[in-house]
């Protein structure tokens, strides 16, 4: 089988197998990285469910449970459309919370259903609490492609893109926003959705199994071809076969062997 293995064809197939297996290993490592990232997010979500809130500061990790104190600015409220809660489509209400230093934190006060007449009308949004309030909630990272626009005198966005929304406000806004907990809002609270980290773990293991299986398939095919060639090859003559050929060339068995004797 070694002679077949060292042919140009099978060495080329081995190189292709090694390249394919390397790509599969890298894909598995990428999925493993995604698994670790999502697993870390789930750990912070679980910790935030029972941990005491900490004071909000810039740079705190996403999903950390925080408390922030200030006054709501209802005049610059933002509606985030096409947001789904419990299978229903509606709006999330973002209200700037002005802090003592003049900066603001966007607070997602919760979800409201659309107007009964349809999406062409603004929804009914309960007024934000007046005076100084303390909001307890979870830190959330900004989203991409918000498409902020003014509709009927009301700022609306497709997603919670903090930098884009902050550009429409007259004060400096923190780079992350806060979703209010149940006890901090009169609106429908935004549910916490956990990451499906087991899916990435399964993909990682799957890619690594494929990488090992590619080498198994290579050597299985090599062995099968070797057996096929071995079965098709003529059998090598033995010394006894050579002796029979010499006997036949000399005139048959009578020339070398005595004729059998009949019994008396």
- Beta strand extents in 60-196 (DSSP E only): 65-72, 78-85, 88-98, 104-112, 132-140, 149-151, 154-157, 177-180
CA–CA dist 176, 106 (Å, integer):
8
pTM recorded for the entire structure: 0.69
- Comparing 81-95, 112-126, 175-189, which segment has the lowest mean pLDDT? 112-126
Q: Are residues 35 and 86 in the same domain?
A: no
**pLDDT, mean over the chain:** 85
- Check residue 255 and give its pLDDT: 47
Mean pLDDT of 185-213: 90
With respect to residue 176, please indicate whether it lies within any of the assigned structural domains. yes
CB 173 within 8 A of CB 166: yes
With respect to residue 175, please indicate whether it lies within any of the assigned structural domains. yes
Total structural domains within the chain: 2
Q: Are residues 104 and 213 in the same domain?
A: no
Q: Are residues 73 and 176 in the same domain?
A: yes
Q: Are residues 153 and 187 in the same domain?
A: yes
CA–CA dist 57, 67 (Å, integer):
10
By DSSP bridging, strand 65-72 and strand 54-55 are parallel
For residues 131 and 228, which has the higher predicted lDDT (pLDDT)? 131
Question: Percent of the chain beyond pLDDT 70?
Answer: 86
Q: Residue 228: which domain range?
A: 2-41+198-232
With respect to residue 259, please indicate whether it lies within any of the assigned structural domains. no
pLDDT for 240 beyond 80: no
With respect to residue 52, please indicate whether it lies within any of the assigned structural domains. no
DSSP state for residue 152 in the 8-state scheme: T
Q: Are residues 182 and 95 in the same domain?
A: yes
pLDDT tens digits, one per residue of 3-51: 766 788 878 999 999 999 999 999 999 999 999 998 988 888 888 777 8
Query: How many CA atoms, within 13 angstroms, populate the side-chain half-sphere of residue 145?
Result: 0
Cβ neighbors of 240 (< 8 A, separation 6 or more) are none
């Amino acid at each position: 089988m070694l002679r077949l293995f060292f042919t140009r064809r099978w060495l080329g197939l081995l190189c292709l197998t090694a390249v394919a297996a390397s790509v599969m290993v890298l894909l598995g490592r990428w999925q493993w990285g995604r698994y670790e990232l999502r697993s870390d997010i789930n750990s912070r979500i679980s910790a935030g469910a029972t941990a005491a809130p900490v004071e909000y500061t810039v740079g705190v990790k996403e999903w950390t449970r925080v408390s922030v104190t200030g006054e709501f600015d209802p005049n610059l409220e933002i509606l985030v459309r096409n947001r789904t809660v419990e299978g229903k489509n509606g709006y999330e209400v973002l209200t700037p919370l002005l802090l003592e230093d003049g900066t603001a934190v966007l607070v997602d006060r919760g979800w409201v259903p659309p107007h009964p007449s349809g999406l062409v009308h603004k929804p009914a949004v309960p007024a934000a609490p007046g005076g100084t309030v303390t909001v307890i909630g979870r830190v959330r990272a900004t989203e991409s492609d918000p498409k902020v626009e003014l509709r009927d005198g009301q700022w609306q966005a497709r997603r919670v893109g903090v930098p884009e929304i902050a550009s429409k406000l007259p004060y400096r806004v923190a780079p992350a926003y806060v979703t209010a907990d149940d006890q901090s809002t009169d609106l429908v609270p935004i549910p916490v959705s956990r990451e499906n980290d087991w899916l990435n773990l399964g993909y990682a293991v799957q890619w690594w199994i494929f990488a090992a299986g590619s080498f198994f398939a290579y050597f299985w095919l090599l062995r099968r071809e070797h057996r096929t060639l071995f079965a098709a090859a003529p059998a090598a003559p033995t010394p006894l076969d050579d002796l029979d050929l010499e006997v036949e060339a000399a005139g048959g068995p009578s020339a070398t062997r005595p004729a059998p004797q009949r019994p008396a």
